């Protein structure tokens, strides 16, 4: 009888101790809604409370749910030496356009763990957003050195190099990340690089690849339209310019009519 009474208690205790662990598994599987539920249970049962707040906050940020930043701040207050929570806070600020607070938190993350390549990569993006391109390039190169397989690291370094006018090197970096999940961004930036190099055939090639994936990329559509125009492909240029105007491009009817006549 004693065993029967204790058994449900042991099951309950075992479950409570695994709320965080199972939530973390769901988090890694990108099942964020269910992960949030388990992290909440972990918090309520005092199971890995600081980390549960941190990952619940990041889940909320990913799915654009309210309360992300407040969870991250609580996690930081519970464990102010956790480099990951500063990274998540910094990345949330960066996504929302607050570059100053993004840099502050990303720098704090790196000061605690200077081998964390993802924070270095995000800081390079923040530097690029504030037009500090030379520092952005240094940081991006450090991120690649720390983790040559980092997600989108070559893409980000390629964009920085493009902004610095290092077009040949930018193309090499962009091509290294092809096939890894961000192809629409890579094709778009390759189109921009080739347009700046006045290689209009390659501009058309990569712009078309980007537009197959995402047909409403206005800037890419305009680069392709201009490239068609410059290579004498008037009908195709006309069609792209008309589509661009339909997407909201500031193009006068006079300009379009001149191309389409």
Set out the domains of the chain in order of their start, with CATH numbers: 167-261 (1.25.40.10)
Least confident of 12-16, 157-161, 194-198, 220-224: 12-16
CB proximity list for 178: less than 8 A, separation 6 or greater: 186
Tell whether the model's pLDDT for residue 9 goes beyond 50. Answer: no
Residues 61-102: tens digit of each pLDDT: 999 999 999 999 999 999 999 999 999 999 999 999 999 999
Helix, strand or coil, per DSSP, at residue 43: helix
Q: What is the pTM of this model?
A: 0.88
CB proximity list for 23: less than 8 A, separation 6 or greater: 35, 36, 37, 38, 39, 41, 42, 52, 55, 56
* Structural contact between residues 238 and 261, judged by C-beta atoms closer than 8 angstroms: no
Binning the chain into helix, strand and coil, the percentages to the nearest 5 are 75, 0, 25
Helix, strand or coil, per DSSP, at residue 117: helix
**% of the chain with per-residue pLDDT over 90:** 86
For residue 12, what pLDDT is reported? 47
For residue 141, what pLDDT is reported? 98
Tell whether the model's pLDDT for residue 13 goes beyond 70. Answer: no
Tell whether the model's pLDDT for residue 51 goes beyond 70. Answer: yes
Count CA atoms within 13 Å of residue 174 on its CB side: 24
For residue 5, what pLDDT is reported? 43
Residues 124-179: tens digit of each pLDDT: 999 999 999 999 999 999 999 999 999 999 999 999 999 999 999 999 999 999 98
Tell whether the model's pLDDT for residue 14 goes beyond 90. Answer: no
Rounded CA-CA distance 56/67 in Å is 9
For residue 15, what pLDDT is reported? 54
For residue 179, what pLDDT is reported? 86
What's the token pair of residue 65?
Answer: 């749910």
**% of the chain with per-residue pLDDT over 70:** 93
* Core vs surface per residue 224-254: b (16+ CB within 10 A) or e: bbbbbbeeebeebbbebbebbbeeebebeee
Rounded CA-CA distance 39/82 in Å is 18
Residue holding tokens 């300009």?
255
Rounded CA-CA distance 253/113 in Å is 56
């Amino acid at each position: 009888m004693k065993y029967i009474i204790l058994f449900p208690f042991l099951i309950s205790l075992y479950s409570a101790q695994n709320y965080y662990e199972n939530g973390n598994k769901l988090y890694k599987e990108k099942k964020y809604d269910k992960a949030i539920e388990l992290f909440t249970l972990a918090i309520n049962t005092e199971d890995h409370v600081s980390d549960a707040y941190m990952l619940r906050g990041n889940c909320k940020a990913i799915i654009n749910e309210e309360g992300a930043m407040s969870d991250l701040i609580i996690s930081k207050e519970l464990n102010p030496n956790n480099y990951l929570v500063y990274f998540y806070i910094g990345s949330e600020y960066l996504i929302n356009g607050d570059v100053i607070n993004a840099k502050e938190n990303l720098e704090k993350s790196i000061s605690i763990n200077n081998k964390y390549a993802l924070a270095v990569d995000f800081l390079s993006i923040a530097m690029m957003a504030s037009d500090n391109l030379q520092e952005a390039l240094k940081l991006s190169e450090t991120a690649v050195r720390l983790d040559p397989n980092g997600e989108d690291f070559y893409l980000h370094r390629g964009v920085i190099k493009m902004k610095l006018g290092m077009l040949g090197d930018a193309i090499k970096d962009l091509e290294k990340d092809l096939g890894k999940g961000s192809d629409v961004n890579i094709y778009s930036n390759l189109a921009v690089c080739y347009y700046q190099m006045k290689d209009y055939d390659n501009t058309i090639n990569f712009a078309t690849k980007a537009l197959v994936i995402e047909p409403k990329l206005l800037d890419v559509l305009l680069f392709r339209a201009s490239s068609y125009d410059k290579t004498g492909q008037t009908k195709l240029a006309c069609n792209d310019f008309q589509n661009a105007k339909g997407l909201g491009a500031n193009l006068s009817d006079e300009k379009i009519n001149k191309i389409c006549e």
